[in-house]
Amino acid sequence: MVQYLFADSEPFPWRFDFLETLRDFLRLGGDAANHLAAIDEIERAMQVRAASVEQAKEAIRRFADEAEAGLGTTLLTDTSHPAASELGERILAFVRDATKEKLESEDAELRRGNAEDLKNMEMHRAGVRERLERFLLGSEVGVVHDARLALEGGRYAIEATRRIPGPIDVCFHVDVERFEAWQEPRKVASVSEELEKLQVGMKKKLFRRDMTREMMRVGDHTIVAARIGKERAEIALRRKMDDKRGPVTLVLERQDEGIYAEIERESADGTKLFPAVPGDIEKMTGLWAALAKVGREAMEHRDAILTVHVGETECWADPKPGLLIDRLVEVFAPVVHEIARRSPSPKELSLKIEREDGSREERYLDRGAARGTVEALHPRAARRFAALKL
């Protein structure tokens, strides 16, 4: 495993190529910010158009009201010339029809202009999404936070979430077609050989009053669902897939005094919870660790983004890409500043890679080139990256 270091050889806090990530973020995030700036301009143009059309319609209505008022007064006060009155009525009807037609024409023109703008906005939104998806799928920023799997129709559906400080949680869909080990149902024993049996309760001995341990052979159970995090894990098991009872669920939680675990299962008299005994907790923790490794491996086969949460705000399904870009800048900025402070040249950002054999390699990012990438953006887009102080 490689370790990243600052230029002064002090440990770098993140275990990925930050400079390459920053380069990609400036390029792809910058493109996304450009698309957002274009969307802002289109929205402002639509507002101006709507205001202009409303002004034009108000002028038309005012003219029509004045014309109708004048003609109406004449028709009411001068009844001595029937032919003139008839002509006035026709003129009044014409004014009303012309006013209606002109108002409808203004509305139609507004709809045509808005339709074209909405089409362009959708194109830019797709551009934002595509650039940010390329960045998040290609970047190794953050750590695997949790993984979820569920057996559906004989195959596993797997999701894995990466957490970036901020916090930003990015949930990825995993392409099981490329994850060969999890294309078919897996038994517990195939994942963790140590977990063969568990004590799941106490029961009375046959024909006796005293109690004995109730054991369950779980090694031959199929893993039907799991949610694996750093602090908590829930793993659902079934011995028979057609069993009408609910699964046996192993729940583990990391607490200050150690790991607490319990076993949940259905029986004839309802759901039972049994605190796992210490010896079994160790075996259950081994299964937890094995599935956590599966989550890390699954991340290598991610192929799409399902959700992105910035704090508590979901900003992928309900698009708020500006929030994501701004939070990434907020997260990256102090790291960039610290790299710059420790780099020997003010023209470069420098890091080192130290390999297992002790060899080292220096990595650089030209600050002038990075600034050029930002300065080439739309001014409104460029301002999003100002905090990086490139």
For 366, phi and psi rounded to 5 degrees?
A: -70, 120
Using one digit for the tens of pLDDT, what is the confidence trace for 136-165?
A: 999 999 888 999 999 998 899 999 999 998
Predicted confidence at residue 174, as pLDDT, reads 95
Which residue in 149, 158, 150 sits closest to 176, CA to CA?
158
Q: Are 251 and 234 in contact (CB under 8 A)?
A: yes
Predicted confidence at residue 69, as pLDDT, reads 73
DSSP 2: -
Give me Rg for the CA atoms of the chain. Answer: 34
Instruction: Report the C-alpha gap between 103 and 97 in whole angstroms.
Output: 10
Beta strands at 258-267 and 155-164: parallel, antiparallel or unpaired: unpaired
Predicted confidence at residue 243, as pLDDT, reads 82
Instruction: Report the C-alpha gap between 279 and 291 in whole angstroms.
Output: 19
Q: Mark 280-309 as b/e (b = at least 16 C-beta within 10 Å).
A: bbebbbebbebbbebbebbbebbeebeebb
Low-confidence ranges of the chain (pLDDT < 50): none
Predicted confidence at residue 88, as pLDDT, reads 64
Predicted confidence at residue 193, as pLDDT, reads 87
Predicted confidence at residue 102, as pLDDT, reads 82
Domain residue spans of the chain: 3-22+306-388, 35-138, 180-300
Mind giving me the DSSP string for 325-366? Answer: HHHHHHHHHHHHHHHHHH-S-TTEEEEEEE-TTS-EEEEEEE
